Each structure stands twice: as C-alpha cells, then as structure tokens.
C-alpha cells in the first residue's frame, strides 16, 4: 500500500514560479502553490440548488442577480513571499519567518481571494459586472489589520477606515493579475450601495404588488 505524505508536506513541495513577457516588453511574475490551501472553501452552488425560487433560469435572467460581498479588512498587500524563496523553507519556516506567518497568511488570503475571483469571472463573462459589488479594505496597517485588538482606540480607527472606504471608488478584479483595481464605469462604494438598496426596494415593492399586498 502506498503511503501518502502529509497534506502539509504535499502542499509545500508543490510550488512553482515562472514569468510571462508581453508584446509591449512588460513582464509579470507568477508564484504558485498547491491548490489545497483553497480547497477547504470551494465556490458552491448549494444554496441555489436548494432554493426553487432560482430555477429555471434563462441566460437572459442572470442580469437580475445582485451579489454584495463585504470584507472585514486585511493587511496591506506587500508581496512578501515568492515560490523560489519559500521552496527553501522547512516546516518551521512556513510557520514563522522573519516575524511573519506564511502558512496562515496563505490560507487566510487564498480562500476569500479565490471566491472573489470566481464570482468576478462569472459576472464578467455574463456581462453583468454591476451585479457584483465587493467592498474590502486591503490596505490596513498595524493594529487595524489585527483580528484580536479590541481597544477603544483601535475600534474607532476601524470605524474611520470604514467611513473612508465608502468614499473610495468601486474596484473589480483584474483577471490577468488577480488584483483589485478601480472600476471607471462605476462610482464610489457608497453610491453603489445606495444603488443596490434602491434596486432591492423596487424589487420588493413589485413582488408585494404582484401578491396584492400593496396598492400601486
């Protein structure tokens, strides 16, 4: 019987780095690791499959979907690791490296990043970009990026970060780089939230009118 290596060792060994050069001369580096770190949070259609209100769905109906995704904030992306460097680490290096925790960072970021990318790909492919709104601050620093600092000062800073995020432009995933970039076709996060709320309110009113619960 073949003995399989522990998942952690299998995951660490499968990493690869390569670089792509484009026609304009610019290059882009790719640092890849085994997909097991995101497999624990797959994108699932279970909720849709269990709710008969969603089916049958015609291709033209996908524009009716609204998806609002609210993040809780992450530390500023610093691109601290690469595949060549991490390939030289042992187990302890993955657990703790120069004040950082690469394994935890990879697991925590990969899960929600891959979900964001999958949904973005779906909505962009269906030409329904404006039906998906992801609001996330990925530039937090210090205590504001921590998940366990609940002092009054830090909570106030988080409130201010949230208010500032409302004024920032809506971003969407660049499917080439995987990074979030401002979407020039949309307004601020605050404006898009108001737009979403108005559409939901109109839909709710239309359903109640159809049932005869309110007058037109």
Contacts from 77-82 at CB under 8 Å and sequence distance 24+?
Answer: 77/138, 77/139, 77/179, 80/105, 81/31, 81/105, 81/106, 82/17, 82/29, 82/31
Q: Is the pTM of this model over 0.75?
A: no
Predicted pLDDT at 41: 41
Predicted pLDDT at 62: 67
Predicted pLDDT at 9: 40
Predicted pLDDT at 183: 93
What CATH number matches the domain at 60-214, 1.25.60.10, 3.40.50.2300, 3.40.1090.10, 1.10.240.10? 3.40.1090.10
Predicted pLDDT at 43: 43
Predicted pLDDT at 38: 52
- Any idea where the domains of the chain sit in the sequence? 60-214
Which residues of the chain are modeled with pLDDT < 50?
A: 1-13, 36-37, 39-49
Predicted pLDDT at 13: 45
């Amino acid at each position: 019987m073949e003995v399989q290596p522990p998942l952690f060792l299998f995951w660490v060994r499968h990493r690869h780095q390569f670089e792509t050069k484009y026609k304009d001369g610019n290059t882009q580096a790719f640092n890849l690791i085994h997909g097991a770190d995101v497999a624990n949070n797959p994108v699932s259609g279970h909720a849709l499959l269990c709710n008969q209100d969603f089916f049958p769905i015609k291709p033209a109906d996908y524009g009716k979907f609204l998806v609002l995704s609210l993040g809780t904030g992450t530390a500023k992306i610093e691109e601290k690791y690469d595949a060549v460097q991490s390939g030289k680490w042992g187990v302890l290096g993955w657990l703790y490296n120069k004040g950082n925790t690469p394994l935890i960072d990879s697991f925590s970021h990969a899960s929600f990043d891959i979900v964001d990318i999958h949904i973005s790909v779906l909505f962009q492919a269906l030409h329904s970009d404006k039906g998906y709104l992801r609001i996330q601050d990925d530039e937090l620093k210090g205590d504001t990026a921590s998940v366990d600092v609940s002092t009054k000062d830090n909570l106030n800073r988080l409130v201010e970060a949230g208010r500032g995020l409302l004024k920032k432009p809506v971003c969407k995933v660049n499917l080439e780089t995987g990074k979030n970039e401002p979407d020039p076709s949309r307004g601020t996060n605050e404006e898009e939230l108001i737009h979403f709320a108005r559409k939901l309110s109109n839909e709710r009113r239309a359903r109640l009118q159809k049932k005869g619960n309110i007058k037109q």
